[in-house]
Amino acid sequence: MERAADTGGASGYREPEGADAIPYFGLTMKRSHLLHIPSAELLEGYSIRPFVSGDEAHWARIECLSGEFKTEEEALRHFRKEFGEHIAEMESRCLFVVDQDGLPVGTTTAWYGTFDGRPIGRIHWVAVIPDHQGRKLAKPLFTEALRTLALFHEEAYLTTQTTSYKAVGMYLNYGFAPVHQKPECREGWAWIERLLGRSVETERMNDQ
């Protein structure tokens, strides 16, 4: 899952204006290897640290403020449902961007999932809170997440949507390729091409 991240201007940026005019299409992208990961410098005053037990409330707050959940309580319930039995894995896979006061303001998880019938790495739950968007936090966070994934996997995928087209542009620049899973994907990627002003090639595969 990916929503409301910051691209320095994107792993998922909810458009402040005009997003309602963009039809929603779910999209999938895949990186066939985890070599040659681009570097990205973090803005002075920020740092990246791993999740530790007890950070559940920070995760819920960030995802709520980013618009993924209506309330922090709802976000926390989801966290417990999806990750409650995997806290040890979260400590080695989930990352936070923290500000100069040590407060987490962004997150993503170098998780895993089943893709084309096999388990591979997954970039999951990317978010930066609105007050800290526009500060080029997403790229360093994304870089660190990919480096973390490389410790466990040889390839990775992510899911996104047409309304996060700026994030999609970043993913393309990071070597993720569009995957054409279903017929409606063609229209979604056509929208991405128009929005980004660039050609996008898709890889056809069977539905998961």
- Measured CA distances, 42 to 9, 11, 32, 139 (Å): 14, 15, 26, 8
State how far the Cα of 98 lies from the Cα of 140, in Å rounded to an integer.
12
What stretches of 144-192 adopt beta strand conformation (E)?
156-161, 177-180
Q: Is residue 170 part of a domain?
A: yes
Q: Is residue 183 part of a domain?
A: yes
Q: Is residue 81 part of a domain?
A: yes
For the cut 80, the answer to whether the pLDDT of residue 20 exceeds it is no
Q: Is residue 184 part of a domain?
A: yes
Question: Residue 37 belongs to what domain range?
Answer: 19-204
Short-list 40, 22, 55, CA closest to 138 = 40
Residues 70-77 have a mean pLDDT of: 98
Query: Residue 116, Cβ neighbours under 10 Å: how many?
Result: 13
The pLDDT confidence band at residue 18, using thresholds 50, 70 and 90, is low
Q: Is residue 104 part of a domain?
A: yes
The pLDDT confidence band at residue 1, using thresholds 50, 70 and 90, is low
- CATH number of the domain where residue 23 is located: 3.40.630.30
State how far the Cα of 190 lies from the Cα of 196, in Å rounded to an integer.
10
Q: Is residue 7 part of a domain?
A: no
The pLDDT confidence band at residue 147, using thresholds 50, 70 and 90, is very high
Q: Is residue 98 part of a domain?
A: yes
State how far the Cα of 171 lies from the Cα of 192, in Å rounded to an integer.
12
Backbone angles phi, psi at 24, to 5 degrees: -85, 125
Q: Is residue 5 part of a domain?
A: no
Per the CB < 8 A criterion, the answer to whether 158 and 176 are in contact is: yes
- What's the pTM? 0.87
The number of distinct structural domains making up the chain is 1
